């Protein structure tokens, strides 16, 4: 039940802004983003200690890949590969077009359902695997979008229904000034979008063995000589600081 917020403005100084909350079993061990894979030295990503893959990462070519479970597909399943492998597969590529093309050609029967974002400073894609269908890929619309366990910008998602229009009406972050205030406040929100259902909050309290375990704020520059910005919060974003990940 993770959530992505995306601001896609191709051609701007910072064409891609991304905010993400990762919701997971508290007992599932992980490591914060770093160069964890000796055979993939160009990849900086969070490391899932259980399955060896990742949920979100960036490579030295400026490609971002992130993955979410779709509704009713939480956790592993016997006979299925970890969806975290797909993040690493995408980050093996030098641009978003190549990466998205590779993911659309996977054996869809090998994985549980997922939503996925693959992005660089020129192209941005939402990919989904739902049911027995092949992986479908479509370009992201410009402006602000949200993605959770359903469709892109799906108002049947309580989080998206509550936050999307508000996000579209407030000031977008300015990463050069380290001004992420509006978005970081949304990530930290404990408001239950469905009364008495804490799992509908953006920031899920870790009181039942499941909750928000980390958050990210990422900005991709238009200038290829400029490095991305990644601020990472280890723990719930209402109680922990965002600190830089160094490239």
CA distance 182 to 191: 15
Contact call for residues 222 and 13 (beta carbons, < 8 A): yes
Supply the CATH classification number for the domain 3-244.
3.60.60.10
pTM attached to this predicted model: 0.95
Render pLDDT for 39-74 as a digit per residue (tens, 0 to 9). Answer: 999 999 999 999 999 999 999 999 999 999 887 656
Q: What percent of the chain has pLDDT over 70?
A: 96
Domain boundaries, the chain: 3-244
Given the structure tokens 């910008």, which residue do they identify?
153
Residue 197: pLDDT band (50, 70, 90) is confident
Range from 78-82, 94-98, 110-114 carrying the lowest mean pLDDT? 78-82
- Helices vs. strands in the chain: H and E counts, helices first: 4, 13
Structure tokens at 58: 């960036």
């Amino acid at each position: 039940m993770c959530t992505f917020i995306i601001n896609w403005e191709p051609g701007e100084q910072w064409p891609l802004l991304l905010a993400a909350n990762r919701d997971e079993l508290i007992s599932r061990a992980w490591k914060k983003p770093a160069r964890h894979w000796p055979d993939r030295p160009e990849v900086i990503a969070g490391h899932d200690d259980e399955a060896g893959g990742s949920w979100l990462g960036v490579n030295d070519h400026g490609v971002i890949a992130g993955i979410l479970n779709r509704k009713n597909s939480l956790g592993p399943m016997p006979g299925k590969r970890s969806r975290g492998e797909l993040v690493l597969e995408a980050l093996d590529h030098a641009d978003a077009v190549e990466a998205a093309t590779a993911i659309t050609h996977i054996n869809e029967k090998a994985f549980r359902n997922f939503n996925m974002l693959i992005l660089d400073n020129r192209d941005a894609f939402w990919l989904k695997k739902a049911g027995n269908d092949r992986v479908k890929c479509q370009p992201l619309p410009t402006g602000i979008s949200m993605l959770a366990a359903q469709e892109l910008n799906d108002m049947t998602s309580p989080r998206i229904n509550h936050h999307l229009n508000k996000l579209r009406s407030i000031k977008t972050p300015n990463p050069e000034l380290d001004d992420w205030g509006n978005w970081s406040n949304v990530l930290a929100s404990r408001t239950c979008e469905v009364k008495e259902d804490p799992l509908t909050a953006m920031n899920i309290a870790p009181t039942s063995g499941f909750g928000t375990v980390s958050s990210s704020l990422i900005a991709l520059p238009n200038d290829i000589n400029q490095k991305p910005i990644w601020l990472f919060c280890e723990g719930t974003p209402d109680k922990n600081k965002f600190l830089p990940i160094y490239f």
